[in-house]
Amino acid sequence: MTWLVRGLGWLDAQVNTGTRKLARRSSRRGFLGQVSTLVLGAGLLPLLPVSRSFGAEGMEEIGDPQSCDYWRYCALGGSLCTCCGGSVNTCPPGAEPSPITWVGTCRNPADDQDYLISYNDCCGKPFCQRCECHRTERDKPVYFPSKSNDVLWCFGTESRSYHCTVALVLGKAE
């Protein structure tokens, strides 16, 4: 039994020394900073562009992305993700971008060029009722579903619950 007590004492001393050395080498603030970076970083992942590999962002733009009049929303029917914690091309945290979508064209007033706009719905959260828009340039009735903004585009997502819509630029329409 003595050997057990002695062993535990040795282990206790080792752990004690180790934690003291660690405390001397690193600050609590540094540790907390690293943990918070990790947590924040994980939280920011859903904000990454929903279709970075195909997007063609970077052109000159004017206007307010939180307004229905913003040029990219010329055929958007739904709620703007820019008013719901997301951006013009990223879903709000916790919402899942639908890969299936519909594509239209809008004219950018900054360069007077037509661009292909992909309207991706963000899904999996309750409907965000801020900034509801209904613009219908080149939109077709629901009997033409592939060109209708009245269709709920939460396909290929875990949840069919519609939250809001983003507007990605796929490129120039030429």
Partner 1 sequence: MKPLLTALLLVASSAVVASPRTSYLLHCAGCHLPDGRGAPPAVPTLRDTLGQLVQTPQGRDYLVRVPGASQAPISDGELAAVINYTLLEFNRDTLPLQFKPLAEEEVARARPNILADPLMYRRQLWPEY
Interface residues toward partner 1, by CB under 8 A: 51, 53-54, 99-105, 116, 118, 140, 144, 146-147, 155-156, 170-171, 173-174
Residue of 12, 69, 102, 112 marked active site? 102
Known catalytic membership, residue 112: no
Q: Which residues contact 35 (CB under 8 A, 6 or more apart)?
A: none
**Which SS3 state, helix, strand or coil, does residue 81 take?**
helix
Q: Which residue out of 64, 69, 121, 150 is catalytically annotated?
A: 121
Residue 118 CB, shortest distance to partner 1, in Å, is 7
Q: Shortest distance, CB of residue 102 to partner 1, whole angstroms?
A: 5
Q: CB-based contacts of 156: which residues, under 8 Å, 6+ apart?
A: 98, 99, 100
| CB atoms near residue 81 (< 10 Å) | 30
What is the smallest separation between the CB atom of 171 and partner 1, expressed in angstroms?
7
Q: Which amino acid is at 62?
A: I
Give residue 169's Cα distance to chain centre: 15
Task: Locate 5 and state its tokens.
Answer: 């007590």
Residue 102 annotated as catalytic: yes
Q: Which residues does the annotation mark as catalytic? A: 102, 121
